[in-house]
Amino acid sequence: MALTRPRALAPSRAFLRGTSSGVAIALVALLVVMVNFLGWKYHHRFDWTGERLYSLSEKTENVLAGLDRDVRVVVLLDPADPAWEPTRELLARYDAASPRLTVRHVDPGRNLLEAQQLVDRYALADAAVVFDAGDDRRVVAAADLTEYDFSGLRQTGGAEVAGYRGEQRFTRALLGLMEGEKPRVLFTTGHGEISLDDTGQGGMGEAVRILGDDNFELEEWASLGASAVPPGTDLVVVAGPTSSFLAPELGLFGDYLEAGGRMLFLLDPALGGGGGELAETASLGLADWLTGYGVEIGDDVVVDPANPLPFYGAGTQYADRYPGQHPVTRSVRQAGVPVLMSLARSVGLGEVPEDLDATLLVESSPEGWGETDPGALERDAADLPGPVPLAVVVEGRGGGNGNGDRGDAADDGPGALRLVVFGDSTFATDQLLAANAGNAALLADTLNWMVEREAALGIPPKRPEEVRLSLTRSQVRRAYLLVLVLLPGLGVLLGVVVHYRRRR
C-alpha cells in the first residue's frame, strides 16, 4: 500500500492561520497591558490584621488628600533599626495615597557620602525622617517612632517594641508644613500653675515637646492685672492652679469665651497641709463661674478601687470609660486605651444653658466614688457615688470664627466657644505621659479639637500584633500525623493508583 504525502496548506489558509495567531498574540498582549494599567490606576489593598496595622487612618487620608504642595520624604534609617521596616511599609502607603508625596530611602551604611550630605543639609544629629517642602521642612527623629516596653529588661536583657508611632509623627509633620501659622496657646501664671519650664516628674516638659511636634506655639501669660486676653490667642490653658482666681480675671475669661474663645482647665483637688483634708481654697474661685456654663466641680478626691495601679496610692487609678461620643476621646475610645490620673477631683455636668451643648468625656468605674474626707478613704453617704465624672466639654452653637479673634467676633455675633475641664492636671505631666500612650493621645486630641484641627485627631499608636497558638500534647501529635504522615501518604497512594491505571 503506497503512502500518500499530506498536501501542503493552500497559501490563503496558511496566511489566515498566521494572521489569526498574530491577532491572538496581540490581543493577549493588549489584555495584559490593560490589566496592569487598571491594577496600577485602581489598585486596592486589603488589611486583614485585627489591629489594622497596614491601614491609614481616616485623618491621615484627609491630610494627604489636602496636600497643597510637593513634599519630598527622605528616610535616613539603618535597616537594622526596629523602626525601619514599619517606616518603609507605612511611607509606601503614604506615597500611594498622594501623588504630591515622594519617598527616598538612604542606607547610611551603604551610601555614606549621600548620608553625610543629607546630615549636613538638614542639620541632623541622629537618624531621622525628613519631610522637605522646599522652603520649609519637618524632622521626625528615629527615637520618636518606637515605644519600648522595659518591664522584661531584667529577664530578657533587652527591651521589647510595644508600639509604633510613625503615623502620628508623620501626619503631624505634614500638618505642620500645610499650616501657614502656628496656633497660639497661652498658659496662665500667677496662681501656682505648672510652669512650662518645669522639667521634673511633675512638670510639663514632655507635653511641651508633644505639642511642639503638633506645631503649637506655647507661651506663658499672667492673667492677673490684664485687661483682656491678648489678640490672636487661639487657646488659653489653666494647668494645675493652687490659689484662687479673682473676679476681674473671671470677667475677662468670660468675655473671651463669649467672643468665641477656647479655654482648657486642668483642676486638681486642693488638699490641706497634711493631705488629710480639703483646703478652703478647693473651689479656686472657679466653682460659681463654671456653674454658669453648666460645669460642676466637686470638692472631693476620686477613689476607684476597681481600677488601681500597682505601686501607686489609692488616689491614682486608670480610667477607661468614655461615655460621650465626642471627637476628643474618639482615638482612645476606639483603641481601648485607658488614661492614667492621680489625685483627681470630680467634674460633672449641671444645668447647661440652652445655647450650649455639653458632653461627659471621662468617668470612673461604677465602683469608684468622690471622697469628701481624704483622711478616711471610706465610702459613706456624703461621698459622690460612681461612676464619677472626671472631664467634660462645653461648646457653643454660634457660628463665630472660634479662633480668639474678637475683632471679627464683634461683627459676626457670639462665637462658638469651646470649654474643656479636667479634674486632674497630673495626667498631662511627665510622670504619667511617659507611663501611658493614652495620656499623650488624649492631651494632643483635646488641644487639636479646641483649635479646630480635626484632621490631627484619632491617630493612636499601632500595637504589634502577637498571634499565639496553644496546643495540647495530643493536638500536637495529631497535627504531626496529619502533616507528616497522612497527607504525604495520601499523595503517594494517589500517584500509585494513577500509575497503574495508565499502564492498563
Cα–Cα distance measured from residue 141 to residue 125, given in angstroms and rounded to the nearest whole number = 9
Say whether both 199 and 73 belong to one domain.
no
* pLDDT tops 90 at residue 364: yes
Domain count, the chain: 3
CATH number of the domain within which 70 lies = 3.40.30.10
Closest CA to 77 of 137, 141, 138: 141
Cα–Cα distance measured from residue 308 to residue 310, given in angstroms and rounded to the nearest whole number = 7
pTM of the predicted model, to two decimals?
Answer: 0.69
| Cα distances (Å, whole numbers) of residue 201 to 148, 205, 220, 250, 429 | 19, 9, 20, 30, 7
Average pLDDT on 182-190 reads 93
Exposure string for 285-321, b = 16+ CB within 10 A, e = fewer: bbeebbeebbbbbbbbbbbbeebebeeeeebbbbbbb
Which range has highest mean pLDDT (44-48, 419-423, 449-453)? 419-423
Question: Cβ of 40: how many Cβ atoms within 10 Å?
Answer: 8
Q: Which residues pair with 279 in a beta bridge?
A: none
Among 162, 196, 222, residue at a domain's last position: 162
pLDDT tens figures, 82-106: 888 889 988 999 998 889 999 999 9
What is the domain range of residue 341? 182-456
- Is 300 inside a domain boundary? yes
Cα–Cα distance measured from residue 395 to residue 353, given in angstroms and rounded to the nearest whole number = 11
Q: Please indicate whether residue 425 or residue 82 has the higher confidence score (pLDDT).
A: 425
Closest CA to 426 of 201, 109, 254, 161: 201
Question: What letter would DSSP give residue 383?
Answer: S
Q: Is 205 exposed, middle or buried (0-12, 13-18, 19+ CB in 10 A)?
A: middle
Q: Please indicate whether residue 451 or residue 53 has the higher confidence score (pLDDT).
A: 451
Cα–Cα distance measured from residue 172 to residue 503, given in angstroms and rounded to the nearest whole number = 71
Say whether both 476 and 452 belong to one domain.
no
Closest CA to 384 of 340, 339, 423: 423
Cell of 130: 525628613
Say whether both 484 and 448 belong to one domain.
no
